């Protein structure tokens, strides 16, 4: 990563300006790719296939924040998607529980027994309300938010997971991370809402910090409900990309709360440290999973390099650099950005990136979209003003004998369905 | 695979005799490995950790069929396991639904909304009844079998999977495969039981044959309930190891029914053909997943080489050779056996094999056992008399810096738990 090391000696403003150009170009072609390939022509007014929530959010956010995307077709698509959600996402009102996958005409295919579909519903509708100026979308998002908080902090029974006598309760870092992200979304520019969720904001940050274990030397994905390390491989599980993402959410929380101590922890313990321990010294790139004691993880894909930890690390390091002006963060940004652009970008078919590489950095899956990969901007946060939003993600398209083939059909599970939300891995 | 090709010119009896020696040695050291590492010392009388059902079956079958394993400790372990199952496997009697994972003291951790835990319960208890001569185990197995058939053919509601308006019903090949396997187990040497399940035997074989699509050119994992190809990636999904396993079960069915047409289909369409299309021409070994139209599968591990398709293919080809004396099957056996012994066998620590290789054949996970890998004999069928049973599988042990480390603990999900059944992938 000589380019990254050399960059420390360069004028960082010039370097960032260069990256701005490259990222901006990619963003344009990625959005164009999805506009071309993922919209549902047949049910045109309804929206677009796959990963609904995140696209409602994406198109709305692009429209609202990035002048060159202030195009009527983006807002129309977002709004059609939002209306579809309002009509079909909730499976059995008055319950707030949402489907994870719907058919093209709105019938539920799959329901997850978690909070994540509902969280993406909140993100999508709140942002749509902001982009359109129609506040009823935001009111709906806040109503769903109350249900989510109730499930997490009071009573999860509506989620439908049976309580079994032998199941050991544990905290997964994904839940408070998601809540921080929602608070960030909902409270933008709204003091009243920010105050309403201030306690939740603190609670979520503390919950995430409880995953920092071993005297601050490691972020663990799962801990006990009282914040202790768990025995076994579940307790030893690490996901470096997820830790860095948590760092970004914690940093945003520190910014909201003007908490410099939290900022340092976010940057040092949730970004720099997991990046260093999660980076493959042999082939470069971040491992998908690790075991804190260096045992072998049980996930078959643990050695693979996935797109989202890399694009999210770019987001995290730039955001942290913007806050701290710490040159080391710029170096880390360079390291991950160079790897990411060299390996995940499709040199033949600009428009969308590959998502899954072998440990050695070879393309392992040629799909451009899939059950867990679609269009989703990782960058919805204030950035160095010279940098545009940044796209972390990817329709059901595959490369077939060198040709981009739009998947004719995805099977009863996916085909004719609209995947309501995605949650990586 | 010159060794395999050369073998066709050799006296096959001599070749098989050589393989018998190698396989026999492996079986001894694998069983020894599990006896040493997987028994629960603390709850000693209860049984052994992990993959309970399959070990009850394994130990009982070894005791009953292989003279050198007629050792009291195997039967004692099997019986302790069987008694534990009778006490704890069923979660809420009188329902027959079983847990998938239990704690060490018998509390349920996880329940799958499928039939597979219950199927392994049937296998384990029936074989235990045969090994001990205590017929109440077999009666219990038959009672469970009735529940399984009811769920599959009449009413699945007790399995607990919600019926959603948008879900497209489809047939997965795993279900009739499992039923054929159970009929094979239950009807051994019992004309009355064999007659009782004859119609089910035929029904299951026909269901499996409905997965042979495209004028017999491809075995597809999922088809519609009326036996048609499904659109999309679910319909295009192939698993060569699974197809070959289905071939073995179909061949057994053909032997029970003296059906030479079915035998030919089993060998040609479910063994030879999937083996040829599933074999990696570049690096050798069977792919974990494929797409019948050569699109990219969505499973991240699709290129990896897993142990069980290879050991099961050895079983299938030997069994088919024993029936047909077709020399080509012996060649295929050599091809897969040479690869399997060269790549999956741990040259440093005889006793248990690796389970997961990269596409190139390098060890990708060093675990010897895991959520889906443990001791399970793939070979519970009549064989050429000179060949011993053959072991297709692996305790929670990992290799750590060159040392075999027994997993101190596996996390709340697995540690202190007894995984009641395994079903590969």
ipTM value: 0.85
Supply angle C-alpha A110, A115, A116, rounded to 5.
Answer: 70
The arithmetic mean of pLDDT across residues B359-386, rounded, is 63
| Residue A395, pLDDT score | 28
* Number of C-beta neighbours around residue B401 at 10 A: 6
Q: What is the mean pLDDT of residues B96-105?
A: 86
B300–A233 CB contact, under 8 Å:
no
Mean pLDDT for chain B? 82
- Given A166, A232, A295, which is nearest B400 (Cβ)? A295
Per-residue model confidence (pLDDT) at position A347: 83
For chain B, give the percent of residues with pLDDT over 90: 56
> In b/e form, how buried is each residue of B23-48, taking b as 16+ CB within 10 angstroms?
beebbbebbebbbebbbbeebeebbb
**B283–chain A Cβ distance below 8 A for any pair:** no
Q: Give the distance from residue B355's alpha carbon to the nearest chain A alpha carbon, in angstroms.
A: 10
What are A264-321's pLDDT values in tens digits? Answer: 999 999 999 999 999 999 999 999 999 999 999 989 999 999 998 998 899 899 889 9
Q: Is the pLDDT of residue B45 over 80?
A: no
Report, as an integer, the average pLDDT of B215-233: 95
For residue B103, the model assigns a pLDDT of 79
Residue B204 has pLDDT above 50, yes or no: yes
Residue pLDDT, tens place only, B321-333: 988 989 999 999 9
Top pLDDT among B195 and A389 is at: B195
Say whether residue A303 is in contact with chain B using an 8 A CB cutoff: yes
Which residue among A91, A233, A399 sits closest to B411, beta carbon to beta carbon? A233
Q: What is the 3-state secondary structure (H, E, C) of chain A?
A: CHHHHHHCCCCHHHHHHHHHHHHHHHHHHHHHHHHHHCECCCCCCCCECCCHHHHHHHHHHHHHHCHHHCCHHHHHHHHHHHHHHHHHCECCCCCCCECCEEECCCCEEECCCCCHHHHHHHHHHHHHHHHHCCHHHHHHHHHHHHHHHHHHHCCCHHHCCCCCCCCCCCEECHHHHHHHHHHHHHCCCCHHHHHHCHHHHHHHHHHHHCCEECCCCEECCEECCCCCECCHHHHHEECHHHHHHHHHHHHHHHHHHCCHHHHHHHHHHHHHHHHHHHECCCCCCECCCEECCCCCCCCCCCCCEEHHHHHHHHHHHHHHHHHHCCHHHHHHHHHHHHHHHHHCCCCCCCCCCCCEECCCCCEEECCCCECCECCCECCCCCCCCCCCCCECCCCCEEEECCEEEECCCCHHHHCCEEECCCCCC
∠ Cα B343 B349 B355 (to 5°): 40
Which of A231, A367, A408 minimises the CB distance to B409?
A: A231
- pLDDT, residue A41, reads 54
With a CB-CB cutoff of 8 Å, which residues 193-232 of chain B face chain A? 222, 230-232
For residues A172 and A223, the answer to whether their CB atoms sit within 8 Å is no
Residue of chain A whose alpha carbon sits nearest to that of B412: A168
Residue B192 burial (CB < 10 Å; 0-12/13-18/19+)?
exposed
Q: Report pLDDT digits (tens) over B259-281.
A: 999 999 999 999 999 999 999 99
- Are B232 and A415 an interchain contact pair (Cβ–Cβ within 8 Å)? yes
Instruction: Using CA coordinates, name the residue in chain A closest to B99.
Output: A164
Side-chain half-sphere CA neighbours of A2 within 13 A: 0
Q: Looking at the complex, does the CB of residue A407 fall below 8 Å from at least one CB of chain B?
A: yes
Rounded to the nearest angstrom, the minimum Cα separation between B162 and chain A is 9
- Segments of chain A with pLDDT less than 50: 1-2, 7, 43-50, 377-425
Using left for φ > 0, alpha for ψ between -120 and 50, and beta otherwise, residue B34 falls in: alpha
Kindly determine whether residue B407 and residue A359, on different chains, have CB atoms separated by under 8 Å: no
Please give the average per-residue pLDDT across B355-370, as a whole number. Answer: 89
Question: Which of A162, A223, A298 best probes binding to B when mutated, by most B CB atoms within 10 angstroms?
Answer: A298
């Amino acid at each position: 990563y000589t380019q990254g090391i050399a960059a420390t000696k360069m004028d960082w403003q010039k370097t960032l300006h260069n990256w701005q150009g490259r990222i901006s170009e990619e963003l344009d072609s990625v959005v164009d790719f999805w506009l071309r390939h993922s919209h549902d022509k047949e049910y045109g007014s309804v929206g677009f296939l796959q990963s609904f929530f995140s696209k409602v959010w994406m198109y709305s956010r692009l429209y609202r924040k990035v002048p060159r995307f202030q195009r009527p077709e983006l807002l129309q698509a977002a709004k059609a998607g939002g209306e579809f959600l309002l009509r079909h996402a909730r499976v059995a009102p008055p319950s707030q529980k949402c489907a994870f996958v719907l058919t093209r005409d709105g019938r539920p295919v799959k329901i997850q027994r978690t909070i994540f579909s509902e969280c993406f519903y909140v993100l999508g509708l709140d942002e749509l309300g902001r982009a359109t100026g129609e506040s009823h979308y935001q009111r709906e998002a806040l109503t769903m938010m109350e249900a989510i908080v109730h499930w997490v902090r009071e009573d999860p029974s509506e989620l439908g997971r049976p309580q079994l006598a032998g199941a050991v309760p544990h905290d997964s870092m994904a839940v408070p991370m998601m809540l921080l992200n929602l608070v960030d979304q909902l409270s933008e520019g709204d003091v009243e809402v920010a105050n309403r969720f201030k306690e939740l904001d603190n609670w979520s940050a503390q919950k995430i910090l409880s995953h920092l274990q071993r005297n601050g030397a490691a972020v663990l994905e799962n801990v006990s409900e009282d914040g202790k390390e768990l025995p076994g491989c579940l307790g030893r599980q690490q996901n470096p990309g997820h830790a860095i993402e948590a760092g970004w959410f914690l940093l945003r929380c520190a910014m909201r709360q003007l908490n410099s101590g939290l900022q340092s922890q976010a940057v040092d313990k949730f970004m720099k440290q997991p990046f260093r321990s999660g980076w493959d010294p042999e082939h470069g790139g971040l491992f998908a999973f690790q075991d804190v004691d260096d045992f072998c993880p049980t996930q078959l894909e643990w050695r693979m390099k996935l797109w989202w930890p890399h694009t999210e690390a770019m987001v995290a390091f730039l955001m942290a650099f913007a806050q701290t002006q710490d040159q080391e963060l710029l170096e880390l940004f360079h390291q991950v950005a160079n790897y990411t652009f060299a390996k995940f970008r499709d040199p033949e078919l600009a428009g969308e990136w590959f998502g899954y590489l072998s440990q050695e950095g070879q393309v392992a899956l040629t799909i451009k979209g899939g059950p867990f990969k679609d269009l989703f901007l990782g960058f919805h946060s204030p950035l160095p003003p010279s940098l545009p939003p940044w796209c972390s993600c990817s329709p059901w398209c595959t490369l077939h004998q060198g040709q981009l083939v739009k998947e004719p059909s995805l099977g009863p599970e996916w085909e004719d369905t609209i995947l309501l939300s995605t949650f990586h891995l």
